[in-house]
C-alpha cells in the first residue's frame, strides 16, 4: 500500500494565484494540488492536500496525521512566524516533516526570517515557487523509504 503524506497549507493560501502574484505566482492552490497528486503517484505516494485559515484546524489535522501519515509537508504561511501551538503539534508527530514556503522568506521582511517550524523540520524549501511542493515530495519519498528500511 502506498504511504500517505499530508500536505497542509495555512492562512491565505486559498487565495493563491490571486493574492500578490508578483510574490506567490499565478498558479492556484488547486493547480498545486493537482501537480502534487501527479508527482506523488509517480513516487508511489498518496497525498491528502488540505488548507485552512484556522490555526486549530491545522493542529487537528496534524493530530490526525499521527494516526495515518508517513510524513507531513507543511506551508504554515503566516503561522510559520507566530505559532508555538503548531510547533508543539508537529513535535508530537514522529515521522518526517518538510516545511515549504513559496517565496524566499529570507529575502523579505525581517519578521519572516524566523520560523517556529524549522526546528522540527527535516528540511525547508523556500523561494522555489509552487515547484517547492513537488521538490518536497521528492525528498519526502527518500525519507519515507529510509524510515521503512
Ligand atoms: C506564505 C505566507 O502567506 C507568508 O505569511 C509567509 C509563505 C511566506 C510562502 O512563501 O509560501 O511569510
Catalytic residue flag (residue 24): yes
Please give the domain boundaries of the chain with CATH numbers for all domains.
4-147 (3.40.50.9100)
SS (H, E, C) 110-132: HHHCCCCCHHHCCEEEECCCCHH
In this model, does residue 130 exceed pLDDT 90?
yes
Mean pLDDT of all residues in the chain?
98
Q: How many CB atoms lie within 10 A of CB 71?
A: 25
Strands (E), the chain: 3-9, 45-51, 71-75, 97-101, 123-126
Distance 44 CA to ligand 1 centre (A): 28
In this model, does residue 1 exceed pLDDT 90?
no
Compute the Cα dihedral for 129, 135, 66, 42 and give only its sign.
positive
Distance 68 CA to ligand 1 centre (A): 27
Beta-carbon contacts of 4 under 8 Å, excluding residues fewer than 6 positions away, are 45, 46, 47, 48, 68, 69, 70
76: confidence class by pLDDT, cuts 50, 70, 90: very high
In this model, does residue 112 exceed pLDDT 90?
yes
pLDDT computed for residue 146 by the predictor: 96
Report pLDDT digits (tens) over 33-70: 999 999 999 999 999 999 999 999 999 999 999 999 99
Minimum CA distance residue for ligand 1 atom 5:
78
Minimum CA distance residue for ligand 1 atom 1:
77
Task: Specify the pTM.
Answer: 0.98
Amino acid at each position: 500500500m502506498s504511504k500517505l503524506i499530508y500536505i497542509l497549507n495555512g492562512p491565505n493560501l486559498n487565495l493563491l494565484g490571486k493574492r500578490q502574484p508578483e510574490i506567490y505566482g499565478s498558479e492556484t492552490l488547486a493547480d498545486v494540488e493537482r501537480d502534487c497528486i501527479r508527482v506523488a503517484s509517480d513516487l508511489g505516494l498518496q497525498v491528502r492536500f488540505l488548507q485552512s485559515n484556522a490555526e486549530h484546524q491545522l493542529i487537528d489535522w496534524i493530530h490526525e496525521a499521527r494516526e495515518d501519515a508517513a510524513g507531513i509537508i507543511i506551508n504554515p504561511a503566516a503561522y510559520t512566524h507566530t505559532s508555538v501551538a503548531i510547533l508543539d503539534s508537529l513535535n508530537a508527530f514522529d515521522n518526517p516533516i518538510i516545511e515549504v514556503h513559496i517565496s524566499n522568506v529570507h529575502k523579505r521582511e525581517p519578521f519572516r526570517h524566523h520560523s517556529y517550524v524549522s526546528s522540527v523540520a527535516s528540511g525547508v524549501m523556500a523561494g522555489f515557487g509552487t515547484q517547492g511542493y513537488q521538490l518536497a515530495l521528492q525528498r519526502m519519498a527518500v525519507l519515507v523509504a529510509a524510515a521503512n528500511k
